[in-house]
Chains A and B, each alone.
Chain A
Amino acid sequence: MRNAWVIAKRDLGSFFNSPIFYVVTTVFLVIYSFIFFQILNFFSFQSLQAGQAQAMGMSLNLNEMVIEPSLQNMSVILLLIIPIITMRSFADEKKMKTFRLLLSSPIHLKEIILGKFLACMGVVTLMILISSYSVGFLFLLGEPEVGPIVTGYLGVILMAGCFVSAGIFASSLTDNQIIASVLTFGFSLFMWIIGWGAQAAGPVTGQILQYLSIVDHLDHFLKGLVETSDLVYYLSFMLFSLFLCHRVLDSNRWR
Chain B
Amino acid sequence: MIEVENLTKHYGPRRAINNLSFQIAQGEVVGFLGPNGAGKSTTLNILSCILPASSGTARIMGHDTFEHSLEIRKKIGYLPETPPLYQDMNVRDYLKFAAQVRGVSGKQITSAVERVIGKCSLADVSHRIIGRLSKGYQQRVGLAQAMVHDPDILILDEPTVGLDPIQIIEIRKLIQELAASHTIILSSHILPEITQICQRVIIINEGEIAAVDSLEGLTASLRKSERLSLTLRNSGDQVEEKLKSLQQVLSVLPEENNRFLLECELNSNLQDEIARLALDNKWGLVEIKPLSMTLEDIFLKLTIEEKDVTV
Contact B84 A6 (CB under 8 A): no
Across-interface contacts of A96 in B (CB, < 8 A)? 84-87
Quick check: B84 and A100 within 8 Å, CB to CB? Answer: yes
- Beyond contacts A97-B82, A104-B80: 17 other A-B pairs, Cβ-Cβ < 8 A, are A6-B97, A7-B101, A10-B97, A14-B86, A14-B88, A18-B88, A97-B83, A100-B80, A101-B84, A102-B101, A103-B49, A104-B78, A106-B70, A106-B71, A106-B103, A108-B70, A255-B12
- How many residues does chain A have at the interface if contact means C-beta atoms less than 8 Å apart? 24
CA distance A98 to B101 in the complex (A): 13
A105 to B146, CA, bound (A): 10
A101 to B71, CA, bound (A): 16
Task: Tell me which residues across on chain A come within 8 A of B209, comparing CB atoms.
Answer: none
Residue in contact with A13 in the complex, picked from B48, B93, B98, CB distance below 8 Å: B93
Q: How far is the CB of B137 from chain A (nearest CB, A)?
A: 17
Q: Cβ of B84 and Cβ of A97 under 8 Å apart?
A: yes
Q: A17 in the interface, Cβ–Cβ < 8 Å?
A: yes
**In the complex, what's the smallest C-beta–C-beta distance from B294 to chain A, in angstroms?**
33
> In the complex, are the beta carbons of A3 and B85 less than 8 A apart?
no
Q: In the bound complex, how far is the Cα of B49 from the Cα of A107, in angstroms?
A: 12
The reply to whether B12 and A101 form a contact with Cβ atoms under 8 Å apart is: no
Among A13, A18, A108, the most chain B Cβ lie within 10 Å of the Cβ of: A13
Interface residues of B in 71-124 (CB under 8 A from A): 71, 73-74, 76, 78, 80, 82-89, 93, 97-98, 100-103
Complex alpha-carbon distance, A107 and B50, angstroms: 12
B51 touches A104 (CB 8 A): no
* B205 CB-CB contact with A under 8 Å: no
In the A-B complex, list the 5 residue pairs whose CB atoms are closest, starting with the nearest. A101-B84, A97-B82, A106-B73, A105-B101, A104-B78
Residue numbers in B under 8 Å from A7 (CB-CB): 101
Q: Which residues of A contact B101 (CB under 8 A)?
A: 3, 6-7, 101-102, 105, 107
Q: CB-CB < 8 A to B51: which residues of A?
A: 253
A255, B51: Cα distance in complex, Å? 9
- Nearest to B103 among chain A residues (CB) is A106
With contact pairs A10-B86, A10-B97, A14-B89 given, residues A106 and B80 touching in the complex (Cβ less than 8 Å)? no
17 intermolecular pairs with C-beta atoms under 8 Å apart? A3-B100, A10-B89, A13-B93, A96-B84, A100-B50, A101-B84, A101-B98, A101-B101, A101-B145, A102-B101, A103-B50, A104-B48, A104-B80, A105-B102, A253-B50, A253-B52, A255-B11
Q: Is the interface of B mostly helix, strand, loop or mixed?
A: loop
The verdict on A42 contacting chain B, using a C-beta distance below 8 Å, is no
**Contacts of A14 on B, CB cut-off 8 Å?**
86, 88-89
A104 lies within 8 A of B86 (CB): no
Most buried by A among B51, B84, B103: B84
Q: Which of B7-21 contact A (CB under 8 A)?
A: 11-12
B73 touches A97 (CB 8 A): no
Bound Cα distance A101, B88 (Å): 15
In the assembled complex, the Cα of A240 lies from the Cα of B157 at a distance in Å of 36
- With a cutoff of 8 Å between Cβ atoms, the chain A residues found around residue B145 in the complex are 101
Inter-chain CA distance A103–B98, complex, in Å, is 12
Asked if residues B88 and A98 are in contact (CB atoms below 8 Å), the reply is no
How many angstroms from the CA of A137 to the CA of B80 in the assembled complex? 54
Q: Is the CB of B84 within 8 A of A99?
A: yes
Q: Is A133's beta carbon under 8 Å from chain B?
A: no
The distance in angstroms between the C-alpha atoms of A236 and B85, with both chains bound, is: 35
CB of B158, distance to nearest CB on chain A (Å): 13
The residue among B50, B78, B85, B101 with the most chain A CB atoms within 10 A of its own CB is B101
Q: Which residues of B contact A99 (CB under 8 A)?
A: 84
